């Protein structure tokens, strides 16, 4: 998990992210406060202790217990027994919180790409309709969407083909230019961790 690595190795301000995003993560204010306290403890040790949390929040033990139970049920943390020197102790793990934040930002990126995708399609439709002097018909609109959904060509290549067509604009002619003149776009898989690294740069 890239966020966990950034937190542990580069002191990522996870607290700032939680304060900003706790509502989108569907956390109450009290749950967020307890989670922040757990991160404060996590930096020093992994032993779970209600007393350690209570020193960091203005909540009573009953409220802390309820928040911990909620965080466990919502999968923001895990508690397990660890045996050391013939003694058992409860330790906690916050990996699920890192995972939830990463998932949230991945969804944001997906939504952002969807918006860009639709805006590019709209721009191409406007350019074609301007060149044709009429609205596109149903099958023509389907062809334009296919250019983008199949991801064989970039938006810039499609726009370039429209410019090359000049006054001979038509869906078939544009497709001929794209297939015969312009090289197809080569899709490169985006590594999730690299994408999250870019997101991290934006929230610094």
The overall average pLDDT reported for the chain is 87
pLDDT for 34 equals 97
Global pTM reads 0.71
Residue 188 has pLDDT above 50, yes or no: no
Stated as kind and residue range, the H or E segment containing 81 is: strand 78-84
Residue 84, H or E segment: strand 78-84
* DSSP H/E element including 87: strand 87-93
pLDDT digits (tens, 9 = 90+) for 106-120: 999 999 999 999 999
The fold of the 2-93 domain, in CATH, is Arc Repressor Mutant, subunit A (1.10.10)
Polymer length of the chain: 204
- Report how far residue 142's alpha carbon sits from residue 178's, in angstroms, rounded to the nearest whole number: 16
At 149-159, the pLDDT tens digits run 988 889 999 99
Sequence ranges of the domains in the chain: 2-93, 109-180
- 10 Å CB burial of residue 154 (0-12, 13-18, 19+) is middle
């Amino acid at each position: 998990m890239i966020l966990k690595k950034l937190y542990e190795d580069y002191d990522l301000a996870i607290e700032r992210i939680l304060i900003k995003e706790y509502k989108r993560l569907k956390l109450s204010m009290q749950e967020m406060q307890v989670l922040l306290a757990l991160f404060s403890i996590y930096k020093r040790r992994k032993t779970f202790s209600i007393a350690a949390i209570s020193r960091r929040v203005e909540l009573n033990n009953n409220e802390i217990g309820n928040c911990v139970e909620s965080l466990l049920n919502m999968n923001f943390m895990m508690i397990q027994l660890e045996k050391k020197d013939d003694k058992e102790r409860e330790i906690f793990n916050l990996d699920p919180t890192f995972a939830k934040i990463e998932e949230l930002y991945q969804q944001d990126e997906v939504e952002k790409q969807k918006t860009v995708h639709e805006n590019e399609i709209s721009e191409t439709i406007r350019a074609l309709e301007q060149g044709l002097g009429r609205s596109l018909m149903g099958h023509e609109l389907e062809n334009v969407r296919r250019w983008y959904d199949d991801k064989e060509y970039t938006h810039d290549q499609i726009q370039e083909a429209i410019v090359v067509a000049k006054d001979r604009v038509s869906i078939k002619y544009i497709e001929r230019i794209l297939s015969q003149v312009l090289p197809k776009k080569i899709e490169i898989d985006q590594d999730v961790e690299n994408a999250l690294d870019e997101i991290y740069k934006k929230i610094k």
